[in-house]
Amino acid sequence: MSTNDERIERVKKKAHENDQYSGCSQAVLLSLQDEFGIGNDEVFKSATVLSGGVARHGETCGALIGALMGLGLLVGRQKMEDTEAYREAMEPSAELIERFKEELKKQFGFEGELNGTLCKQIHEKIYGRAFDMTDPDDYQAFLDAGGHSDSGCFKVCGIAGQVGAEKILERMRDNETKK
């Protein structure tokens, strides 16, 4: 039996490694699905277009979206009418987002606060500038700056996997305590 720390490290490592194939959302989501036995191929497939800040548009970080999707598989509602489950899912999701921002700052050594979770904002902190990843020349500049490297988005995916695994384990522990 693995300890929680080992599980978190496994997810972090796998999310980091998965991003070599592109698709930060799927890199993180798959690492969580594999470790915790959650979701299915359809859930994984649905995350395809969420990388690069949603279809490479620099919006919300795709790695964070993957972590939130993983958490949502555990805490999300199963019926549209279940507004109580919807409301209850917001708190752990907000906590995951804040933890992601804290860990990015800590592990990358950012100066100042990370004021949001947009892909563009994270790029600004890591590379000193944002990139328009829908523009082929700017996308190449992103790659040249180390975007798909161990110290770039691969690392961001690892961090998202880490905080996603931490929150999922916390919720699993809480659910066991309630039984």
Q: Could you tell me the residue range of the domain that residue 61 belongs to? A: 4-178
What's the number of domains the chain is made of?
Answer: 1
Is residue 1 very low, low, confident or very high in pLDDT (cuts 50, 70, 90)?
A: low
* Rounded Cα–Cα distance for residues 141 and 125 (Å): 16
Residue 121: per-residue pLDDT: 95
pTM for the complete prediction? 0.95
> Residue 154 in contact with residue 20, Cβ under 8 Å?
yes
For residues 79-104, average pLDDT: 97
CA angle, residues 113, 13, 153, in degrees to nearest 5: 45
* Rounded Cα–Cα distance for residues 4 and 144 (Å): 36
Tell me the pLDDT tens digit for each residue of 75-84.
999 999 999 9
Tell me the pLDDT tens digit for each residue of 116-167.
999 999 999 999 999 999 999 999 999 999 999 999 999 999 999 999 999 9
* Rounded Cα–Cα distance for residues 77 and 72 (Å): 8
* Rounded Cα–Cα distance for residues 173 and 100 (Å): 20
